Structure 1
Amino acid sequence: MITLHHVPQSRSMRVLWLLNELGEEFQLVEHAFDRSLRSPEFLTLSPAGRVPALEIDGERMFESGAMVEYLCERFPDRGLGRTPRDMDRMAWLVWVHFAETVSQHAAALTQQHIALYDDAMRSPVVMKLEAARLRKCYAAIEARLSTPVENRDYLLTAGYSAADICVGQAVYMGQHFATLDGFPETAKWFARLTERQSYQEALPGPDSSRIYERDFYPAWEE
């Protein structure tokens, strides 16, 4: 049995999206984005008190990148991973883990805009720098998608994979702070991803808690 511990709109969304694509039976346990993640019970699942946490066959995993690699290897028939002999293996690994580069900037902005409750704690300089760094990440994705390869609809030459899921989820978070204006290929790629049922089912439900109350948070001015 697979159990995913999930906070809507967080990094755990990428593992939920992947599980939806894999079509394997799993149980979803939703948590709020609050101090309950620091409870002794939850810390036995994820020692840093973060999501995702994954329980599978009596074992426990934390770190979303590790989960993505493991799940793709365990369920190879869906074709979302790439084996060491595949021509796309190196690119697959790079882009799966590039998602964390994007996410760290989105996380810094989430802290600035949402987690810090007092304006005196917030830094307009940090907000502007991190939004600019997000756009640099978008530029890297744009360059990849603009490579003159036939049918470059996804990040890998061989088509849709968990790399698109990981980076796509990071861009989902990032767009709360930096839009895709000026990145046309990235915008078209992201639109393709959002049409997938697996993506739609990974979005917060009507009764789910949310990290982001707004669609967009502009840089805060002093």
Structure 2
Amino acid sequence: MITLHHCPQTRSMRVLWLLEELGVPFQVAPHAFDKTLRSPDYLSISPAGRVPALEMDGDTFFESGALMEILCERFPERGLGRSPGDLDRPEWLVWLHFAETITQHSAALTQQHVAIYEDAMRSPIVMKLEAARLKKCYAAIEGRLSTLVENRDYLLTSGYSAADIAVGQAVYLAQFFAKLDDFPETAKWYARLTERPAFKAALPGPGQGIYTRDFYPAWEG
């Protein structure tokens, strides 16, 4: 049995979404987004005390990008990975890991808006810079999806893959801080992804997420 250690609205959501798409048996070990992730028992699974972590075939693994590669290689027949030698393999790797470029900015904004409780400790400069950097990431996706001939449905020429899952989940988190209003092709691509049953299955239940608002403006002070 595959066990995913998961906190809603964190990087582990991208692995949960992938597992739902793969259609393989798995179970979720839920965790609160708090200091319990630093417990000795959990540190034996994820030594940095972070989610996601995965237990499979008697081994434990961590780091969301690595977990997605491992699962795609473990279940190649599902067609969500791209094997070495495949023409789309380099682009698959690039976009799979570009998700972390996006998420580092969302994580900084989550710290500013959610983890820090006192306004005096928040930085309006950091908030504005990180929100602007998210839009730079959106621009990169927009450029990938837009061509002179026609627009792409997905990030790869060969179609839907785990790269769309990774980047799509990163955009899901990013939209708490930066909207897609100026990125029409990215918005259409994202809308296409969010209609997938596996995406909906990976969403948090009512009151389970770490965000209490739908959107956090760069600065309200």
| 1:12 partner amino acid | S
TM-score (norm 2): 0.97
What is the distance in 1 between the residues matched to 2:197 and 2:216? 27
Mapped pair 1:212 → 2:215: no
Structure 1 segment 14-33 matched on structure 2, within 5 A: 14-33=14-33
1:197 aligns with 2:216: no
Shift of 1:151: 6.2
Q: Deviations over 1:48-79 (max 9, x none)?
A: 11100100011000100000001001100110
Q: Which residue of 1 aligns with 2:37?
A: 37
The alpha carbon displacement at 1:221 in A equals 3.8
Per-residue deviation, 1:118? 1.1
Q: Which runs of 4+ in 1 moved over 6 A?
A: none
Tell me: CA distance 1:199–1:149, structure 2 relative to 1, closer, same or farther (3 Å).
farther
| CA distance in structure 2 between the aligned counterparts of 1:108 and 1:151, rounded to whole angstroms | 32
- The residue that corresponds to 1:94 in the other structure is 94
Q: In the TM superposition, what whole-angstrom CA distance separates every residue of 1:75-126 from its partner, at most 9, and x where no partner exists?
A: 0011000011111000000000000000000000000000011111100000
How far the C-alpha of 1:150 sits from its partner, in A, is 5.2
How many angstroms does 1:147 deviate by? 2.2
Matched ranges for 1:10-159 at <5 A? 10-148=10-148, 152-159=152-159
State, as a whole percentage, how many aligned pairs show the same letter.
75
Letter of the aligned partner of 1:157 in structure 2? T
Displacement after TM superposition at 1:148 (Å)? 3.8
Count how many residue pairs are aligned between Structure 1 and Structure 2.
Answer: 221
Q: Secondary structure at the match of 1:182?
A: coil
Q: Tell me the distance in 1 between the aligned counterparts of 2:108 and 2:45.
A: 24
Corresponding letter in the other structure for 1:191: A
Normalised to the residue count of structure 1, the TM-score between the two structures is: 0.97
- Across the aligned residues of Structure 1 and Structure 2, the Cα RMSD in angstroms comes to 1.1
Contact persistence 1:4–1:53 (CA under 8 A):
yes
